[in-house]
Amino acid sequence: MSKFIFVTGGVLSSVGKGILTASIGKMLQVRGYSVSVVKIDPYVNVDAGTMNPYIHGEVFVTEDGGETDLDLGHYERFLDINLSKLNNITTGQIYATVIEKERRGEYLGSCVQIIPHITDEIKRRLREVANKSNIDVLLVEIGGTVGDIESLPFFEAVRQMRLEEGYYNTLFVHIALVPILDVTHEQKSKPFQHSIQELRRIGIQPDILVARCRTQLDKEVKRKISLFGNVTPDAVFTSYDVDNIYALPIELDKQGMGDYIVKRLMLNNTMPNWSEWKSIVESFRDTKDKVKIAMCGKYTKLIDSYMSIVEALKHAGAKLKVSPEFGWIETTELEEDPLSISKLSDYHGIIVLPGFGVRGSEGKIMAIKYARENKIPFFGICFGFQLAVVEFMRNVVGYKEAHTTEINPDTKYPVIDLLPEQKNVMKLGGTMRLGSYKIIIKEGTLAHSIYGCNEVFERHRHRYGVNPEYIPILEENGLIISGISYDEKNVEFIEIKNHPFFFASQAHPEFKSRPGRPSPPFLGFIKSCIERKKAIQR
């Protein structure tokens, strides 16, 4: 039987609930306990796939093709586990299931209500994940902020779970912001207190309180939070700013959080073994040198839109003892001011990011051309891969009107086109080519030296792909197709000769990158950025 830890947040969003949840998981893992994590997102979308990354951040793709909240990426990276689409629950999914059941007649004769039918479905889903993953502890992070109307049914469901699962099998952790006033440098606990009151009002008394604050909590503030929050002072912790997110579990454990949780859940308190995680955290600190990376995309104002790519680059950097420094290039600006493209020469490497639609796409193509011609390390991911093929077709093969039909459905040379199996797809939610697929790698290629093997699984999220009709002409003109899908239907990797590093992938290798075990293409890319830096210095 699994135990449950529920993590809630107060005052405002983005207080680091996801990182806290992942950190709690880590504290349990290093004590020998198996964990899994569910993220609850109280929006009505069925999944994150149909939301705007500008507002909601990256869509994280799981092995089984779930389009999920970016917090699942944190969980996978911190805990080194693979999650499934079941680990992200939304209001949309819950209501869809209940309404389907109602139509099937499963509630015949009863009036279907939020309590108990919606809350029962929420509890059923949580228990299903716990049972299927066969773990000691299931962590459940409730998205949004306490007090939001839309998250109420979820709070109500977990409140009921305390009664049903028992006191020692459930634990409520509440995190909220403790701001520091600029003028007086005072830590203010009042918003935190109010958010706890909000929780109590709906019947939840938190067991552990975590203050999100720039600095360690002052004794007096901690006392106040403990008093008003109705927990003992040893149950109040601070998630203060750390130099590296991966250091947070160690910091919280130092404050006694791991021991407290284990005791409270009546688990045997084994000695935590931090040695492996500590050496990973140290590797991020041991990076004196920097490499400058141009991140070319259209959501560059919200860095969360590219969370996993940023993390994958950091993982690769830590392995090679450099830290990546990001230059966010809004590619629409390259279109408006074509001469500004020369600023890319300052960088040690260029990434063209995943994306959708017309905005900024010509600017992305300009960046690819610049990287190819000026022999700057280049890594194109998904849309970045597709546009690299378009660029090659236009500027190397010479078909100036080549394009992807995503942007120009009437292009004369549709070198990137809707995947054949997508042609009859009408619904846009959850219908892309999603999740993990096997890629066969050609020997003697850059891809082969990057991965060091003949086949690899990477995760996908796309509707378009290389049009097979154009493969012969692309190859005749020197494009190397170094990876294809196991069923030979999809081009997966491309590269070119006589370039220090020009690699593009239809798949998203960033989703499988882990601290201490960076994704191979990211490692190869950073290696070649370091080479460029050395060459410039010489």
Active site residues: 382, 508, 510
The distance of Cα 36 from the centroid of its chain, to the nearest Å, equals 16
Q: What are phi and psi of 148, to 5 degrees?
A: -65, 135
329 SS3 class: strand
Q: Name residues whose C-beta falls within 8 Å of residue 467's C-beta, 6 or more positions apart in sequence.
A: 414, 415, 416, 417
- Does 153 show up as a binding residue in the annotation? no
**C-beta of 65 vs 229, nearer to ligand GLN:** 65
318 SS3 class: helix
Length of the chain: 538
Q: According to CB under 6 A, which one of 57, 153, 355, 518 is a site residue for ligand GLN?
A: 355
In terms of Cα–Cα distance, which of 442, 29, 8, 490 is closest to 272? Answer: 29
Per the CB < 8 A criterion, the answer to whether 389 and 478 are in contact is: no
Run of H or E including 537 = helix 520-537
Sort 64 into a burial class: Cβ within 10 Å, 0-12 / 13-18 / 19+. Answer: middle
Contacts with ligand GLN: how many residues (CB under 6 A)?
10
End-to-end CA distance of the chain: 62
Provide the minimum distance between the beta carbon of 446 and ligand GLN in the complex, in angstroms, as a whole number.
21
33 binds ligand GLN (CB under 6 A): no
Q: According to CB under 6 A, which one of 463, 489, 514, 517 is a site residue for ligand GLN?
A: 463
Residue range at the interface with ligand GLN (CB under 6 A); choices 179-187, 252-260, 268-276, 351-359 = 351-359
Provide the minimum distance between the beta carbon of 356 and ligand GLN in the complex, in angstroms, as a whole number.
4
**C-beta of 165 vs 362, nearer to ligand GLN:** 362
Q: According to CB under 6 A, which one of 82, 292, 356, 489 is a site residue for ligand GLN?
A: 356
Could you give the residue ranges of the DSSP H alpha helices within 400-470?
446-451
**C-beta of 59 vs 211, nearer to ligand GLN:** 59
Provide the minimum distance between the beta carbon of 422 and ligand GLN in the complex, in angstroms, as a whole number.
9
Per the rule left: phi > 0, alpha: psi between -120 and 50, beta: everything else, 375 is left
Rounded alpha-carbon distances, angstroms, from residue 164 to 4, 152, 199, 206, 432? 11, 19, 19, 17, 39
Residue range at the interface with ligand GLN (CB under 6 A); choices 18-26, 123-131, 329-337, 460-468 = 460-468
Per the CB < 8 A criterion, the answer to whether 78 and 249 are in contact is: yes
462 binds ligand GLN (CB under 6 A): yes
- Does 224 show up as a binding residue in the annotation? yes
382 binds ligand GLN (CB under 6 A): yes
Q: Per the structure block, which two tokens stand in for 33?
A: 């306990």
459 binds ligand GLN (CB under 6 A): no
299 binds ligand GLN (CB under 6 A): no
Rounded alpha-carbon distances, angstroms, from residue 378 to 217, 273, 351, 535? 45, 39, 6, 16
Q: According to CB under 6 A, which one of 372, 461, 499, 527 is a site residue for ligand GLN?
A: 461
Q: According to CB under 6 A, which one of 4, 399, 464, 501 is a site residue for ligand GLN?
A: 464
414 binds ligand GLN (CB under 6 A): no
**C-beta of 448 vs 463, nearer to ligand GLN:** 463
**C-beta of 162 vs 462, nearer to ligand GLN:** 462
499 binds ligand GLN (CB under 6 A): no
**C-beta of 369 vs 508, nearer to ligand GLN:** 508
Q: According to CB under 6 A, which one of 53, 57, 354, 520 is a site residue for ligand GLN?
A: 354
Q: According to CB under 6 A, which one of 383, 399, 470, 511 is a site residue for ligand GLN?
A: 383
380 binds ligand GLN (CB under 6 A): no
Q: Per the structure block, which two tokens stand in for 150?
A: 């839309």
Per the CB < 8 A criterion, the answer to whether 292 and 348 are in contact is: yes
**C-beta of 94 vs 382, nearer to ligand GLN:** 382
Angle at the Cα of 427 from the Cα atoms of 423 and 430, rounded to 5 degrees: 100
Instruction: By CB under 6 A, name the binding residues for ligand GLN.
Output: 354-356, 382-383, 406, 461-464
Residues at the annotated binding site? 13-19, 54, 71, 141, 148-150, 188-193, 224, 242, 355, 383-386, 406, 463
